[in-house]
Amino acid sequence: MWKKIAGILAVVAVGFLIVRAVRQYRQDNVFDTAPAGGGEGTPPAKRSISPELLEILADPADKGPVKLISDNGGKEWLLNPRNGFRYPVEDGIPIMLIEEGEKHRDESLIEK
């Protein structure tokens, strides 16, 4: 009887430790990824860039205006139409790092 209870407790304890370890691992690996948001089990609503922010956003390098575009997959980008740099928008947050814009450059989007 007591052995059985001890066994169950041991299993629960191991489970608890695994859940904690996974949670800690996730917390330590949020360096460059968007969290699930919303709350556990419920998919978060898709967020968009606010019009107030869009009005003043500029390319971090040449400081000229950027345009909000969507690709075929529906993903939003901020395009510098002068050089084709595309800055990703992650869950409504624009990632305005020059190296990101350069990495996702699409020369076909340059407006002459």
Least Å distance, CB 101 to other proteins, is 9
- Tell me the C-alpha distance between 104 and 60, whole Å: 15
- Cβ–Cβ under 8 Å, residues 49 and 76: yes
Q: Which of 42/72 has CB closer to other proteins? A: 42
| Min separation Cβ 35 and other proteins, Å | 5
Single-letter residue type at 72: N
Binding stretches for other proteins (CB under 8 A): 27-28, 30-35, 37, 49-50, 52-53, 56-61, 63, 65-66, 87, 90-98
Q: Which is nearer to other proteins, 12 or 21 (CB)?
A: 21
CB 85 within 8 A of CB 94: no
* 2 touches 9 (CB < 8 A): no
> Which residue, 33 or 42, has its beta carbon nearer to other proteins?
33
